[in-house]
Amino acid sequence: MKRYRLILVLISVLCIGLVACGNKNKTGNRNNQTEQSMVDSIAAQNEATAETTTEISTEITTEATTGETTSEIIIYEEATTEFQINEEEFTGEPDPTVDIDMTVMPANMVFSQVSHIMMEPDMYLGKTMKVKGPYYALYYENTGNYYHYILITDALACCENGIEFIWDEGSHVYPDEYPEDNQEIVISGELKCYEEEDYIYYYLDIDEYMVVE
């Protein structure tokens, strides 16, 4: 019997505001349910974290006597549940008024931090965070509403995560009072969640935003 083994390792990322963890084991992703321009910007943000690795092992077996070939696919999954921050990698002094200041972390650390938040969002509920990145608005046809995000990219700018935020409980008028798309801003707020269409979405509750000059 001859055996040939092919190993494929797939790593994918998800986005915070766009991906929701539902109370019925349902996952919502507005990014996959609309054809607006935002889709192209954040298409890589889907249903796993940068810290979650899925290994797909395909074993092809050939019987020496009959020449018959069969294949078997086995899927192994591992997910990390801890996130460690190396203080030596901070690029500046963290803001003491928030629990997590991602504006002074290098790009890959920020991306990993956001990915871990998406992997274990309930661990971060109630924590305050400070984030910097380009702003984007997403129109979702099912609800007829616009949703607002900061995009977080890794160091190579090949993967992106989107953090949804709600400004003053949604009382501001879009687009008149919001930044322009792709304008870099800084926001600070508490991580909260809300339910919509039987899904739970996580977002930062902010009082204001600051444009990065």
pLDDT tens track for 143-199: 999 999 999 988 787 888 899 999 999 999 999 999 999 999 999 999 999 999 999
Whether the bond between 175 and the residue before it is cis, its omega within 30 degrees of 0, is yes
pLDDT tens track for 48-94: 433 433 343 334 444 444 555 444 433 333 444 566 666 666 788 99
The ranges assigned to domains in the chain are 19-50+81-211
* Residues near 88 by beta carbon (within 8 Å), at least 6 away in sequence: none
Considering only the top CATH level, what class is 19-50+81-211?
mainly beta
Residue 86, CB-side half-sphere exposure with 13 Å CA sphere? 6
pTM listed for this prediction: 0.66
Q: What is the pLDDT of residue 174?
A: 97
Give the rounded distance of the alpha carbon of 124 from its chain centre. Answer: 14
What is 55-85 written as a DSSP string? EEEEEEEE-TTT--EEEEEEEEEEE------
Q: Which helix (H) or strand (E) holds 118?
A: helix 107-119
